[in-house]
């Protein structure tokens, strides 16, 4: 049994969700028999761990410093093994512009896009929008929870959408809107979990659809998908996970268009971890209970960190 620091809360816009993930993971770790040291990153400092002799840190934060690699870098400095991806992968996944570049390099299908800056002249913004064509989606580069994401169907709607996204930062993405079904695929270790479909009644998985129970969003862990779609979705999920150098686990969001083509939207390096969150739901579809999943996340994260890089390279060269 391990002494595990549980990092949750945080100061990002996703603090409330993180508290829920944290409570669920905390309960699971205790049921398994681990000794849990909870740290609300909103008020407690990670530095406190320096004198605590913990074996492992479970990161149940979402967004902000927990997801952009800052917390991971600090844990590296403290030489504490932790759950999930390292600082570089976290940063790449959090930044949709950097993610897109990696997706294109690693042949992960992703929708055409442009990046607008706050002081771009109107004519440039209009030209970008026309290049992508309608409908398109405007989104902040490094937010989560669908905050600042707007679907746009004509030029008149562009200024408001850009204004909403620029509230979160000086760079904003304009992306072709993929009309179709929304899928998400969890990756644990090196394997993809069963595909899950997100069915938002409005057709847009926005903040309300994500967190407000009255929105009526449904999640289908056994969706009826045409032909090889499920296998392809799992294939692209693993490819996207590796393209961003993710470790341990992640959840990859994608769209399936009317022609049966898949388009990866983003990789979430710290997906929701309440018992009803998507990754645990997908694991349950495979017969893996919540506690078992939490333990597996600890195991795969420890395992990957224990391997010295040179060993991995030797094995790759020998293969
Ligand atoms: N290109 C797109 N085409 C269609 N829907 C999109 C597109 N981009 C985003 N969305 C919708 O907006 C939601 C949030 O966008 P996403 O890129 O995943 O950002 P976030 O990091 O905020 O979750 C998605 O779950 C999806 O419903
Ligand atoms: Mg998303």
Q: What is the pLDDT of residue 92?
A: 97
- Residue 222 tokens read as 């056994």
Taking domain 112-176, whether its CATH number is 3.40.190.290 is answered by no
Rounded Cα distance between 174 and 141, Å, is 10
Q: What is the pLDDT of residue 315?
A: 55
Q: What is the pLDDT of residue 180?
A: 96
Of residues 188 and 312, more confidence is placed in: 188
Query: Is the pLDDT assigned to residue 219 strictly greater than 90?
Result: yes
Give the residue numbers annotated as catalytic, written as ranges.
Answer: 14, 145, 211, 251, 253, 266, 268, 272
CA of 318 to the centre of ligand 2 (A): 38
pLDDT tens track for 68-84: 999 999 999 999 999 99
Of residues 64 and 152, more confidence is placed in: 152
Q: What percent of the chain has pLDDT over 90?
A: 78
Domain ranges, ordered by start, for the chain = 3-83, 112-176, 180-306
Rounded Cα distance between 118 and 22, Å, is 36
Ligand nearest to the CA of 183: 1
Mean pLDDT, to the nearest integer, of 13-42? 95
Of residues 309 and 48, more confidence is placed in: 48
- Which residues lie below 8 Å from residue 274, measured CB to CB, with a gap of 6+? 20, 21, 23, 24, 280
Mean per-residue pLDDT of the chain? 92
Taking domain 3-83, whether its CATH number is 3.40.50.20 is answered by yes
In this prediction the pTM is 0.93
Query: Is the pLDDT assigned to residue 313 strictly greater than 80?
Result: no
Of residues 16 and 145, more confidence is placed in: 16
CA of 256 to the centre of ligand 1 (A): 12
Please tell me the number of Cα atoms within 13 Å of 58 on its side-chain side.
Answer: 32
Rounded Cα distance between 290 and 284, Å, is 7
Residue closest by Cα to atom 6 of ligand 1: 177
Q: What is the pLDDT of residue 316?
A: 52
> Which residue ranges have their beta carbon within 6 Å of ligand 1?
111, 137, 139, 143-146, 149, 175-178, 182, 204-205, 253, 255, 265-266
- Which residues lie below 8 Å from residue 247, measured CB to CB, with a gap of 6+? 84, 85, 86, 89, 301, 304, 305
Ligand 1 atom nearest 96 alpha carbon: 17
Q: What is the pLDDT of residue 147?
A: 86
CA of 318 to the centre of ligand 1 (A): 41
Taking domain 180-306, whether its CATH number is 3.30.470.20 is answered by yes
CA of 254 to the centre of ligand 2 (A): 9
Mean pLDDT, to the nearest integer, of 223-232? 96
Ligand 1 atom nearest 175 alpha carbon: 1
């Amino acid at each position: 049994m391990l002494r595990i620091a549980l990092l949750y809360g945080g100061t990002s816009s996703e603090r409330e969700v993180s508290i829920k993930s944290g409570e669920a993971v905390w309960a699971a770790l205790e049921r398994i028999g681990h000794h849990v040291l909870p740290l609300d990153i909103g008020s407690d400092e990670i530095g406190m761990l320096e004198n605590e002799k913990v074996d492992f840190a479970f990161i149940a934060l979402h967004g902000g410093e927990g997801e952009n690699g800052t917390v991971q870098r600090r844990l590296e400095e403290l030489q504490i093994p932790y759950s999930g991806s390292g600082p570089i992968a976290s940063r790449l996944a959090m930044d949709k512009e950097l993610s897109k570049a990696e997706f294109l390099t690693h042949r992960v299908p992703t929708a055409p896009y442009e990046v607008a800056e706050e002081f771009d002249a109107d004519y440039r913004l209009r030209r970008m929008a026309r290049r992508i064509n309608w409908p398109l989606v405007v989104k902040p580069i490094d937010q989560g929870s669908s905050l600042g994401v707007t679907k746009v169907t004509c030029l008149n709607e562009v200024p408001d959408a850009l204004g909403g996204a620029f509230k979160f930062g000086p760079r904003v993405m304009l992306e072709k809107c993929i009309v179709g079904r929304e899928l998400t695929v969890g990756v644990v270790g090196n394997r993809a979990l069963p595909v899950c479909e997100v069915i938002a009644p409005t057709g847009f998985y926005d903040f309300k659809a994500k967190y407000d129970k009255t929105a009526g969003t449904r999640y289908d862990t056994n969706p009826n998908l045409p032909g090889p779609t499920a296998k392809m979705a799992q294939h692209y999920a693993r490819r996207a996970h590796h393209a961003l150098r993710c470790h341990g686990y992640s959840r990859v969001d994608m769209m399936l268009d009317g022609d049966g083509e898949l388009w990866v939207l983003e990789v979430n390096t710290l997906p929701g971890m309440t018992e009803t969150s998507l990754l645990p739901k997908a694991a349950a579809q495979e017969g893996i209970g919540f506690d078992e999943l939490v333990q597996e996340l600890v195991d795969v994260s420890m395992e990957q960190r224990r391997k010295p890089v040179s060993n991995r390279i030797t094995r790759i060269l020998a293969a």
